[in-house]
Structure 1
Amino acid sequence: MHENYDEALLLELVKNKQFRALRAHLDEMNEVDIAEFLDELEPDQQVVVFRLLPKDVAADVFTYLEDSEDQEKIINALSDKELREVLDELYLDDTVDIIEDMPANMVSRILRNTDASTRSQINQLLKYPEDSAGSIMTTEFIYLHPNATVEESFARIRKVGLDKETVYTCYVTQNRVLLGVVTVKTLLLSPYETKIKDIMETKVISVTTHEDKEDVAQMFSKYDLSALPVVDGENRLVGIITFDDAMDVMEEEATEDFEKMAAILPGDKPYLKTSVFETWRSRIPWLLMLMLSATFSGMIITHFEGALAACVVLTSFITMLSGTGGNSGSQSSVAVIRALSLGEVEFSDMLAVVWKELRVALLCGVCLAAANFVKMMLVDRMLMHNPQVTVPVALVVCLTLMCTVVCAKIVGCTLPMAAEKIGIDPAVMAAPFITTVVDALSLLIYFGIATEILGI
């Protein structure tokens, strides 16, 4: 919770139905904080407090509510007139975002309470694929004519700017074709009689409606943009994507990647709002798959049961080897997945990535093997007086450690790149999956080296 408002005081005012005092406090609060406060209330209390808000504030608060179920409950409680007032204050892309998470009957009610023009634009935006630029754009932008003067353009901005998502960046079009872009700063610093075509920037960075929204979000960071125009196949301006929409995409994609890397099916609800059953359902498929795949490690150990019986001390180092291998693979996979998501590497860079990770693995492997050899001789043999820890045994463990680190890092960097090449999210090839693969490899290497050196 933020410390710029007293949650306990507000809850007390709601409980005692002191709505006049509550409204005074709400008037001083930011819309984001009001939305967080509403999340703490019971459904019937949420509706009561929501009705206290001015309609323009209520619309902003509505978009900041984290849980679509809270939005749905509020919509159910509002009359058609109240709902229409809230929808009139919402930007078009926010309305579309809300509709996408609503059941069919709720969508019908929302569309019934919008005018024909807005309804047509909403339906158009809903037709775009979920992961496309078109699905996150808004059609509420300011466009100027190239032959208009600065004075005429200011008059237009004042006339139509109130309902637009941004007024700082204006787009220059003729017959809807995107010609250039001009900022309000440029307009303010130019003489009134100047033509827009003489001051507009013609090198405009734009995207098409079907471009992947994650790639679009990365462009905001790459080019330091506040807004990005979206065009169709004939370079006609159909919408813009603003920085806040790009940030939402980045947060959504980062959360999804974290969940996949932790072997959890992605969800769209806040943690505390997700039921125990839903949480179980998102985790159990991966756990089942990883559990079954881990049986390969058990089969390998069973196969070499005789070798373990001949040299029991080898058993005590299996966990360390598997753990180090898994950690090494995870380091490489996380680094490569991040590089892939930022566009720093692609599949064609596979050899360069493998060559780099191979050198890193050799350095890491040598350091770990040397440290482990010293530890086994000093701690295991001398301090703990374990006569089974001989130099040949230590050599087996250290050679295995070095080979395992090399294999783990190669697997960790190649699997995510291969996954992206065949159209699978690279985040899937993260810690749990790679650890399972490396566990099996480390055991095969371990017993192979032990057989050769110890003759078991």
Structure 2
Amino acid sequence: MSPAAQKPLKSVVETEKMDEVRDWLDGKPSVIIAEELHRLTPAQMAVAFRVLPKDRALHVFEYMDPPVQAELLSGLVEGETASMLRSLAPDDQAELLDEIPAKVAARLMEGLPASERSFVSDLLGYPAESAGRLMVPTPTVLAPAATREEALDKIQRNAQAQSSADDHHDSTVIDSDIAVVPVADNSRRLLGTVSLSAVVAAPTGTQIEQIMHREKFQVKASEDQEVAARLMQEADLLALPVVDDEERILGLITVDDAMEVLEFEATEDAYRSGGSEPLKEPYLKATVLTLARKRGTWLVLLILAAFLTINVMEFFESTLEAVVVLSVFVPMIIGTGGNAGAQAASSVVRALAVNEVRPSDVARVIWREIRVGFLLGMFLGVVIFPVIFWIYALPVASTISITIVAICTWACIVGGVLPLLARKLGVDPAVFSTPVVSTLVDATGLVIYFTVAGTIMADQIAAATG
């Protein structure tokens, strides 16, 4: 391996030695090249891309994120961009066309074959995150009365026609159609699906209706992509038929696209659980202004919500002045409550994501979180009681320990209920994870703390204020 091949691609491109760039690219898988291209400027990407053989370049392009694909196209000439676009499956074409200026997109669309252009136009008519935007065309739809031989002949002819339409076209459509084929009536209403393996293994003369799966796993084009992806994951499907309101077959969603949706949703949840809006582009491609804007909105909302905590502190100011030692434990109290609430919220958000719980399960979730929170609080209270008792005596130790039990129980209830409420209101449950739960529990936890202190240490507070 040459020394250049061990360096990052960016460093090699910056040397402007094309032989070293070629050596680096020749020794790396396409997916690794795509990842490294994300780290380059548009001009550098164009330089590296032109060194690749055409077939390899098209393959690498398929692995790139749409925003980065659009960035690369800005550094290529029109003939090259048209070739890149034609290499993608229709759903990926639609996603890329969304990322580039409208005039450029319209010009590139004109370079697509008529049938493909029509299908991509239809895809662009669906909402951005709908199942319809994710589907690819299904060249083969079988009739239930078709025989095994007729089905195999039709699949083969359509696969060959699809392949010859563009020698470099993404093979996803063909692979999906061969793996799983929709079965429909004369009006294209979905009746079920049949796998190629079942067709091949069937005896001569077998009709498709004898071997097809009649359980109609399907999704409407207007439904959310995540619904389709979750269904494919749960039912272990290689492809999922997409239908219109009358259940007529429109296309297929492939397993690789479904996995991309699930990955994006997981990334989106991770951002939102940290109090930030998700990025559409890779982190290093996002501008500083974009990063600040994505985070700033939530920070403004959370800092305004923090005034609740300030108001609570002001309301109990006399209690704090009477027993100053109580202020020492404020960070521990609100920190414990925030952490307990965030843990509960994370568990319920995850359970919602995989359909383990529903908003209708709110009573069961509350009862479960009450018990979990109480057990956690008891455990923590037992751990800290002897330490505080040794330093500050019984009243303070009792106050802190009882508060910990109460606040852990309350925080778990809040963390468990808020995601369910969000789902009921049509809001992403991940929004109500760590930052929101922590802010709410901070304020309410202080009310619990000072209420417990006012009850247990009433005589001490009265003596100090009297």
2:170 matched to which residue of 1? none
Match of 2:81 among 76, 80, 83: 83
Q: Output the amino acid matched with 2:323.
A: C
SS in structure 2 of the partner of residue 181 of structure 1: strand
Bigger shift: residues 9-18 or 48-57:
9-18
What is the distance in 2 between the residues matched to 1:38 and 1:112? Answer: 28
2:379 matched to which residue of 1? 367
1:403 matched to which residue of 2? 406
Q: Is the 8 A contact 1:59 1:87 kept in 2?
A: no
Q: Is the 8 A contact 1:60 1:90 kept in 2?
A: no
SS in structure 2 of the partner of residue 282 of structure 1: helix
2:106 matched to which residue of 1? 108
What is the distance in 2 between the residues matched to 1:407 and 1:41? Answer: 49
Change (3 A) 1:29 1:152: farther
What is the distance in 1 between the residues matched to 2:106 and 2:100? Answer: 10
Bigger shift: residues 361-370 or 151-160:
151-160
Structure 2 residue 394 is the aligned partner of structure 1 residue 391? yes
Shift of residue 392 of structure 1?
1.2
Match of 2:182 among 167, 171, 179: 171
Bigger shift: residues 341-350 or 30-39:
30-39
Deviation per residue, 1:332-388 (Å, 9 max, x gap): 11111111111111111111110111111111111111111122124xx2xxxxxxx
Q: Output the amino acid matched with 2:31.
A: V
Structure 2 residue 194 is the aligned partner of structure 1 residue 182? yes
Q: Is the 8 A contact 2:13 2:48 kept in 1?
A: no
Q: Output the amino acid matched with 2:313.
A: I
Shift of residue 22 of structure 1?
5.5
2:149 matched to which residue of 1? 151
Q: Output the amino acid matched with 2:401.
A: C
Deviation per residue, 1:246-290 (Å, 9 max, x gap): 111111111111111111122211111111111111111211221
What is the distance in 1 between the residues matched to 2:221 and 2:403? Answer: 52
Shift of residue 28 of structure 1?
5.9
Structure 2 residue 288 is the aligned partner of structure 1 residue 273? no
Change (3 A) 1:405 1:25: closer
What is the distance in 1 between the residues matched to 2:118 and 2:314? Answer: 66
Change (3 A) 1:335 1:137: same
Q: Structure 2-normalised TM-score?
A: 0.88
Shift of residue 311 of structure 1?
1.3
Bigger shift: residues 141-150 or 357-366:
141-150
Cα RMSD between the aligned structures? 2.3
SS in structure 2 of the partner of residue 109 of structure 1: helix
Bigger shift: residues 221-230 or 297-306:
297-306
Structure 2 residue 461 is the aligned partner of structure 1 residue 450? no
- Runs of 4+ residues over 6 Å off in structure 1: none
SS in structure 1 of the partner of residue 378 of structure 2: helix
SS in structure 2 of the partner of residue 144 of structure 1: coil
2:117 matched to which residue of 1? 119
Deviation per residue, 1:9-68 (Å, 9 max, x gap): 96648845445x865764664321221232344433322332344444433322322361
Q: Is the 8 A contact 2:240 2:254 kept in 1?
A: yes
Shift of residue 438 of structure 1?
0.9
Q: Is the 8 A contact 1:326 1:439 kept in 2?
A: yes
Q: Output the amino acid matched with 1:169.
A: V
What is the distance in 2 between the residues matched to 1:95 and 1:113? Answer: 12
What is the distance in 1 between the residues matched to 2:80 and 2:304? Answer: 54
Bigger shift: residues 167-176 or 366-375:
167-176
Bigger shift: residues 336-345 or 161-170:
161-170
Any stretches of 5+ residues in structure 1 without a counterpart? 382-388
Shift of residue 405 of structure 1?
0.9
Match of 2:349 among 334, 337, 360: 337
SS in structure 1 of the partner of residue 34 of structure 2: helix
SS in structure 1 of the partner of residue 306 of structure 2: helix
1:386 matched to which residue of 2? none
What is the distance in 2 between the residues matched to 1:96 and 1:290? Answer: 37
Shift of residue 417 of structure 1?
1.0
1:412 matched to which residue of 2? 415
What is the distance in 1 between the residues matched to 2:50 and 2:428? Answer: 43
2:295 matched to which residue of 1? 283
What is the percent sequence identity of the aligned residues? Answer: 38
What is the distance in 1 between the residues matched to 2:131 and 2:400? Answer: 52
What is the distance in 1 between the residues matched to 2:44 and 2:419? Answer: 47
Deviation per residue, 1:397-437 (Å, 9 max, x gap): 11111111111111111111112112221111111111111
Shift of residue 218 of structure 1?
0.9
Q: Output the amino acid matched with 2:435.
A: P
Q: Is the 8 A contact 1:55 1:86 kept in 2?
A: no
Any stretches of 5+ residues in structure 2 without a counterpart? 163-172, 462-466
Change (3 A) 1:368 1:59: same
Q: Is the 8 A contact 2:70 2:99 kept in 1?
A: no
SS in structure 1 of the partner of residue 7 of structure 2: helix
Shift of residue 217 of structure 1?
1.1
Bigger shift: residues 31-40 or 362-371:
31-40
What is the distance in 2 between the residues matched to 1:104 and 1:148? Answer: 44
Change (3 A) 1:425 1:13: closer
Change (3 A) 1:436 1:42: closer
SS in structure 1 of the partner of residue 241 of structure 2: strand
Structure 2 residue 213 is the aligned partner of structure 1 residue 215? no
Change (3 A) 1:145 1:86: farther
Shift of residue 107 of structure 1?
1.3
Deviation per residue, 1:172-199 (Å, 9 max, x gap): 2232222232212112212343332332
Shift of residue 234 of structure 1?
1.7
Q: Is the 8 A contact 1:329 1:409 kept in 2?
A: yes
Deviation per residue, 1:140-172 (Å, 9 max, x gap): 443223333323332332322253342211222
Structure 2 residue 429 is the aligned partner of structure 1 residue 426? yes
What is the distance in 1 between the residues matched to 2:74 and 2:8? Answer: 28
Q: Is the 8 A contact 2:22 2:51 kept in 1?
A: yes
Q: Output the amino acid matched with 2:137.
A: T
Match of 1:260 among 272, 279, 287: 272
Bigger shift: residues 33-42 or 242-251:
33-42
SS in structure 2 of the partner of residue 131 of structure 1: coil
Q: Output the amino acid matched with 2:438.
A: T
